[in-house]
């Protein structure tokens, strides 16, 4: 649930804690006076900023802040982490603002949208993320066929993701940043004819960051997925696609469409009955070890970048294929067959 404040000035320094606790499940979060999180101290000392979305420290800190939580902001029901990284992906427009109290603001934008979608990290004096501001259009899927629809200008939203205990007044630098339009949008806003349709921050909402939330839910899986094999789908991962009987079940834009999987035929196996593709941001070794523990009795083969686990489930068989893609995370493919397969691949 979002907490929307359309008139920020009337709120002063009111605490958000009560509203967030009522509307959000309880999760382990840091104390207000000492937010937990990975430090970006190396980016606070000055010097040229990297492309924020590609910097390993930024990615690690944002993952620590967001975890696998999902929502609909610049995309429909997507990882908050992915939406945040896309919003700070412009390589020429990363900015650093030092505030009077020693905090800093690191910001950038999605240049492909002329900055209509943009993001900023509010850091404490140690370089830990206190809050992340995301200018977005509350995008969602609508119509038949489904298509992404976002709030048109001038109805942009500033979503402030924050740690538990943050005061509304603490987020003031994010509001000031959001209202400073990127160059292209500033030109539109200054045009006498088009200015009325230029971007404005129509509302501000505050959302409690919940990095402990799982990354997927049962509705994203094929209806026939066996409950006994749910543990093969790591909680700390996110579903990319799922399919049953050769037809996609997720994402919604592909639901009901035929899945063309040539891998089974190429490797001499019958077509898989069920498949779920996931992504984890844990290390490759951690993911492989986790599956080794989960799939006891499965046959494990691995090298530096890939791993296979083959096992049986009653009358059927399963295979877990794990692939390390570096910065894009660890890809996991869980395939199920309703009858047992031979041991050879």
Name the H helices within the chain: 17-23, 56-66, 80-87, 172-178, 183-190, 263-266, 284-294
Rounded Cα gap, residues 59 and 235, in angstroms:
20
Pairing assessment for the beta strands 247-250 and 238-244 based on DSSP bridges: antiparallel
Q: Percentages helix, strand, coil for the chain, rounded to the nearest 5?
A: 25, 30, 45
C-alpha dihedral over 240, 244, 77, 31, to 10 degrees? -70
pTM above 0.95, yes or no: no
Q: Alpha carbon 196 to chain centroid distance?
A: 33
Long-range residue pairs from 320-326, CB within 8 A, at least 24 positions apart, any chain: 320/232, 320/291, 320/295, 322/284, 322/287, 322/288, 322/291, 324/284
Residue 194's pLDDT is: 58
* Nearest Cα residue to 65 out of 192, 211, 252: 211
For 89-129, the three-class secondary structure string (H helix, E strand, C coil) is CCCCCCEEEECCCCCEEEEEECHHHCCCCEEEEEECCCCEE
Considering just the CA atoms, what is the radius of gyration of the chain in Å?
Answer: 22
Evaluate the CA torsion angle 221, 290, 282, 70 in order and state its sign. Answer: positive
* pLDDT value of position 189: 80
The answer to whether the beta carbons of residues 56 and 42 sit under 8 Å apart is no
135, 143 Cβ separation under 8 angstroms: no
Chunked in runs of 10, what are the mean pLDDT values of the chain (345 residues)?
36 32 30 62 87 94 96 96 97 91 96 92 96 98 93 94 94 97 85 70 97 94 91 94 96 92 82 95 95 92 96 88 94 90 55
Please return the burial class of 290, using the count of CB atoms within 10 Å of its CB with bins 0-12, 13-18 and 19+: middle
Residue 322 to residues 227, 291, 292, Cα–Cα distance (Å): 21, 9, 11
Strand partners, 335: 275, 319
Return the number of other C-beta atoms located less than 10 Å from residue 210's C-beta: 20
Provide the pLDDT for residue 1. 39
Q: Is the peptide bond before 145 cis (omega within 30 degrees of 0)?
A: yes
Pull the structure tokens for residue 60. Answer: 């690690």
**What is the C-alpha to C-alpha distance for residues 73 and 80, in angstroms, rounded to an integer?**
8
pLDDT, position 267: 81
Look up tokens 């940043």; give the residue.
Answer: 177
């Amino acid at each position: 649930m979002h907490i929307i404040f359309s008139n920020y000035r009337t709120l002063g320094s009111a605490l958000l804690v009560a509203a967030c606790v009522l509307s959000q499940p309880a999760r382990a979060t840091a104390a207000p006076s000492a937010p937990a999180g990975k430090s970006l101290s190396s980016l606070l000392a000055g010097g040229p900023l990297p492309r924020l979305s590609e910097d390993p420290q930024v990615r690690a800190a944002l993952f620590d802040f967001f975890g696998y939580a999902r929502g609909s902001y610049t995309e429909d029901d997507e990882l908050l982490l992915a939406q945040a990284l896309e919003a700070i992906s412009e390589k020429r427009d990363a900015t650093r603002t030092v505030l009077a109290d020693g905090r800093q603001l690191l910001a950038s934008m999605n240049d492909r949208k002329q900055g209509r979608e943009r993001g900023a990290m509010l850091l404490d004096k140690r370089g830990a993320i206190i809050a992340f501001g995301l200018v977005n259009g509350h995008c969602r899927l609508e119509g038949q066929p489904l298509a992404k629809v976002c709030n048109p200008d001038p109805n942009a939203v500033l979503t402030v993701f924050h740690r538990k205990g943050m005061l509304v007044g603490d987020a003031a630098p994010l509001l000031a940043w959001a209202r400073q339009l990127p160059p292209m949008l500033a030109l539109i806003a200054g045009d006498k004819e088009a200015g009325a349709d230029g971007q404005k921050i129509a509302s501000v909402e505050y959302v409690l960051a919940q990095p402990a939330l799982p990354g997927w839910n049962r509705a994203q899986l094929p209806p026939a997925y066996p409950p006994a094999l749910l543990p093969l789908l790591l909680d700390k991962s996110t579903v990319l696609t799922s399919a049953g009987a050769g037809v996609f079940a997720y994402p919604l834009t592909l639901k009901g469409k035929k899945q063309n999987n040539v891998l089974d035929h190429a490797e001499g196996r019958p077509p898989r009955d069920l498949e779920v593709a996931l992504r984890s941001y844990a290390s490759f070794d951690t993911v492989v070890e986790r599956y080794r523990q989960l799939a006891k009795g499965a046959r494990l083969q691995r090298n530096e970048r890939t791993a296979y686990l083959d096992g049986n489930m009653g009358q059927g068989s399963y295979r877990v294929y794990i692939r390390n893609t570096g910065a894009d995370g660890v890809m996991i493919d869980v395939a199920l067959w309703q009858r047992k397969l031979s041991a050879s691949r």
